[in-house]
Amino acid sequence: MKRWENRVAIVTGASDGTIGGAIALDLVRNGMIAIGVARNISLVEKLKDVDSSTLKTGKLIPYKCDLTKPDEIEKMFIWVKANYGGVDVMINNAGVAVMKPILEMEVEEMKNLLDLNVIALTLFCKLAINSMLGRGINDGHIINMNSVLGHQVYGYLNFYAATKFAVTAVSEGLRKELAQKGSFIKIT
């Protein structure tokens, strides 16, 4: 983690008490500038109440963003560039599930899953990679949190599984696109 000190990570779904919140704090503890993204910024701000002596030299920067609104995501990347130079690590942690079979789902529920689990994640990947490539960063890392349902269908949460299969495809597709460019940016 030493090589990541003072470098910038964006963590989506970084609310207090979540996996994203724990990831953001761990990055800060290891000296990174972690931009914790959530719709409810007060939940990210709660993370800053952690004993600051354990946070090393890193910083947690809460950022309010509705991930279902591409213009808000794009504005965030402009802000990150203006204030921190760009992003070096992108952790796509935000996601949502609807606990219904496909036959009972409303169209708006389907659209919400696609907007957050697929479109937002893909846009974050694209903008983060462009930030890295534009600054000559060749050791950046994109981490897309996924699910076993992104690799196998079990017969429940089937539309959620479809969105997670899309995450698998996007991740593999980006890995191949970066390899074709000769880039060493990692996609996990």
Annotated active-site residue 63? The verdict is no
Quick: pLDDT tens for 12-28. 999 876 899 999 999 99
CATH number at residue 146: 3.40.50.720
Domains of the chain: total: 1
Please write the tens of the pLDDT for every residue from 66-124.
Answer: 999 999 999 999 999 999 999 999 999 999 999 999 999 999 999 999 999 999 999 99
Q: Which domain holds residue 136?
A: 2-187
Total-model pTM: 0.93
DSSP the chain: -GGGTT-EEEEES--TTSHHHHHHHHHHHTT-EEEEEESSHHHHHGGGGS-GGGSTT-EEEEEE--TT-HHHHHHHHHHHHHHHS--SEEEE-------S-GGG--HHHHHHHIIIIIIIHHHHHHHHHHHHHHTT--S-EEEE---GGGT---SSSHHHHHHHHHHHHHHHHHHHHHHHTT---EE-
Summarize the confidence of residues 123-131 as an average pLDDT: 98
From the candidates 63, 154, 156, 160, give the one annotated as an active-site residue. 160
